[in-house]
Amino acid sequence: MKTIKSILVSTVSLLILSCGGKNQQQAAAGPQTPSLKVNTLEKQDITIYKSYSTNIQGKQNVEIWPKVSGFVQNIYVEEGQQVKKGQLLFKLETQTLSQDAEAAKAAVNVAQVEVNKLVPLVEKNIISEVQLETAKAQLEQAKSNYSSITANIGYSNIVSPVNGYIGEIPYKAGALVSSTMGEPLTVVSDITGIRAYFSMTEKELLEMKSEMADGGSTVSAENTPEVELVMINGETYPQKGKIAMVNNIINPTTGSVTLRADFDNPNLLLSSGSTGTIKVPSTYEDVFVISQFVTVDLQGTKMVYVLNDDNTVKTVPLNIVAQTDKEFIVAEGLEEGSTIVTEGVSKLKDGQTINPVKQ
């Protein structure tokens, strides 16, 4: 029995000594060198887009207001109907005006008779010429009054001032309308072309102008970049637009400026009053495009790990000129052909050795 126990004790001791030896060897060898993916940098051209909420309006939205008061006698159009410039839309009741016109016409006739009666008397020096001039003045006043009333009768026929589409018609036949009412008779909207209004910050406007100036262009609406419109359903409108207006007066309250992009609308796909998103492009040439996931942040400065010839790594700060949701656009600070580490960067340290794995 003693012999068996001695053998067991010796065996256990040998196992313990063996394990201890392996651990000591691993400790002496130090931490294992990590194998990490790396990628070689190449310069490229890239176009990125900045997005802005937009409010869409027709090329012309004309409110139709009556110039005279009266009851709506006839409505000649339907809501949503296409109309032409000069087409009759509404007719107001003019019975009272017609009566006033008859009275004004009679007054003109009376004044004319008076003038005709006085002319020969002046010629015979029976009365002074002052009386005749007074009668002529009264005649002109009567004519002016008559013309004003007949013009008002003409205003009772309300026509469309532009080509377009009829909006909502809140007043129906029989309603009393006037130029002081709360809302117009209707709105005629020309949507063969649309105008998309949006705002950007003063800084963004300056960046856009600087890019235009760098390209050798004069900073003006004629040389602004083409823009895209993302409609409310998430689809991109098939035709590109052009920034047609840049308001150079900065809003002191918001620090923003208003711009307008014009789009053709030949199929009438877009409607006045719609919303969407304007995408303004910015093109960068000879830059590095680096994924945000391969960078580290050191006291607010973004850095990447660059691989040295001896497979050690070092941090290099990035000169970021723009960014997308997932990438940084870098113009300077890196050399073309440099190799950067693209995984495990959060656990790396300057001077650490890695086993690079080319992607």
Q: Is pLDDT above 80 for 181?
A: yes
* Contact of 280 with 50, CB cutoff 8 Å: yes
| Mean pLDDT in residue range 353-359 | 88
Q: Is pLDDT above 70 for 218?
A: no
Give the model's pLDDT for residue 70. 85
Give the model's pLDDT for residue 118. 77
Q: pLDDT for 291-316, tens place per residue? A: 999 999 988 899 999 999 999 999 99
Give the model's pLDDT for residue 133. 83
Residues forming a β-bridge with 54? 198, 276
Please indicate whether residue 222 or residue 41 has the higher confidence score (pLDDT). 41
- Could you give phi then psi for residue 139, rounded to 5 degrees? -65, -45
Domains along the chain with CATH numbers: 35-46+286-358 (2.40.420.20), 50-59+196-283 (2.40.30.170), 66-92+156-183 (2.40.50.100), 94-155 (1.10.287.470)
Give me the residue label for tokens 């083409």: 226
Written as one string, the DSSP assignment of 38-73 is EEE---EEEEEEEEEEEEEEEEEEEEE--SS-EEEE
Spatial CB neighbours of 309, under 8 Å, sequence gap ≥ 6? none
Written as one string, the DSSP assignment of 119-163 is HHHHHTTSS-HHHHHHHHHHHHHHHHHHHHHHHHHHHTEEE-SSS
CA torsion 134→136→142→147, rounded to 10°? -140
Round to whole Å and give the CA distance between 325 and 330. 14
Confidence of residue 17 (pLDDT cuts 50, 70, 90): very low
Round to whole Å and give the CA distance between 124 and 307. 119
Confidence of residue 7 (pLDDT cuts 50, 70, 90): very low
Give the model's pLDDT for residue 99. 66
Give the model's pLDDT for residue 217. 56
Confidence of residue 220 (pLDDT cuts 50, 70, 90): low
Give the model's pLDDT for residue 216. 55
Q: Locate 99 and state its tokens.
A: 């009566």
Give the model's pLDDT for residue 101. 64
Round to whole Å and give the CA distance between 59 and 240. 16
Give the model's pLDDT for residue 234. 93
Average per-residue pLDDT for the chain: 84
pTM (predicted TM-score): 0.66
User: By mean pLDDT, which of 71-75, 76-80, 115-119 is the weakest?
Assistant: 115-119
Give the model's pLDDT for residue 95. 64
Round to whole Å and give the CA distance between 139 and 111. 5
Please indicate whether residue 16 or residue 238 has the higher confidence score (pLDDT). 238
